[in-house]
Amino acid sequence: MADHTERLVNLRKWNIGVGGLHLVQGILILVLSSSFAIPIVAAVQTGPPGAEGSLTTASKTFFSFNFAIAIAIFLFLAAGDHLLTSVTPIRAWYERNLLRGVNYARWIEYSVSASIMILLICLLNGINNFYALVAIFGVNAAMILFGLVMEQVNQNRDSVNWWPFIFGCIAGIIPWIAIVIGLYSAATDNTTVNGVPVNADGVPPFVYGIVISLFLLFNCFALNQWLQYRGKGKFADYLYGEKVYLVLSLVAKSALAWQIFGGTLASPS
């Protein structure tokens, strides 16, 4: 128990530090960023479905997705998660759960923050259909919540139930398939108007950087959980895996935030 107490105190310091860095970055993004936004559109029905000889759908812009605000939201959500579980009465609940091998706060925060992150990546790759984005947000949130189920069903078990992990991986790959299709379609588009290429500038290099780096980082979260339940080496200790989650959260969110800032938000819109 004494060893656990000392390590939980150390973990509390990590939470405060990581939470503070998320908070500072969120404020900086809001202060330094332009108002860059992408319109969210979709077709809406204007007549009987399948009617011949008349237009039955029209394009509608639902709203503009402000990148700086979205980035700040996922950074502030992470800051709230880490700081609330370290400096408020929630800390006792958080630490009790850690000793049982589950962290509800982490998965709840990830289900929203990581889903906002995936929407930003989708938008940078031309996926701005409202209905598609709602579905992608939901699928990504489901993937995260399978991580929570993985922890819940494997408490006090002699053998690991891998089904939640497998289902989570299946759900998690769906948004990335859409992203890669969008990226490939944009990179290979040869459409011209009056002989002039519509996509003359092609895909900006920073978008490739975001897709590759965030895909790898997202998969590191799954790898961390796999190593935890494989139960060998340092990862057999749940508290060690928790610290790895803290680092991954900071690196992934910071990488996306500042890559987007450098690519779109640093210049006035």
- Summarised one tens digit per residue, pLDDT across range 137-196 is 999 999 999 999 999 999 988 899 999 999 999 999 999 999 999 999 888 866 554 454
Interatomic CA distance for residues 27 and 143, integer angstroms: 29
pLDDT at residue 31 is higher than 90: yes
Q: Over the stretch 237-256, which tens digit does the pLDDT of each residue have?
A: 999 999 999 999 999 999 99
Per-residue pLDDT, 177 = 97
SS3 content of the chain, % helix, strand, coil (to 5): 70, 10, 20
- Of 223, 221, 129, 127, nearest to 176 by C-alpha is 127
Q: For residues 206, 209, 211 and 216, what is the CA-based torsion angle, rounded to 10 degrees?
A: -160
CB 17 within 8 A of CB 78: no
pLDDT at 235: 93
The alpha carbon torsion through 10, 13, 18, 19 (nearest 10 deg) reads: 130
83 against 186, higher pLDDT: 83
Q: How far is CA 191 from CA 179, 185, 197, 268, in A?
A: 20, 11, 6, 29
d(CA 100, CA 78): 22
Tens of pLDDT, residues 90-121: 999 999 999 999 999 999 999 999 999 999 99
Average pLDDT over the chain, rounded to whole? 90
The reported pLDDT for the residue numbered 166 is 97
pTM, two decimals, is 0.91
Average pLDDT over residues 204-208: 92
Residue 192: predicted pLDDT: 52
Amino acid in the structure at residue 130? F
37 DSSP β-pair partners:
66
Q: By mean pLDDT, which of 7-16, 41-50, 100-109, 195-204 is the weakest?
A: 195-204
- Report the interhelical angle of 163-187 vs 104-124 (nearest 10°): 20
Q: How far apart are CA 80 and CA 253, in angstroms?
A: 14
Where are the strands (E) in 127-231, listed by range? Answer: 192-193, 196-197
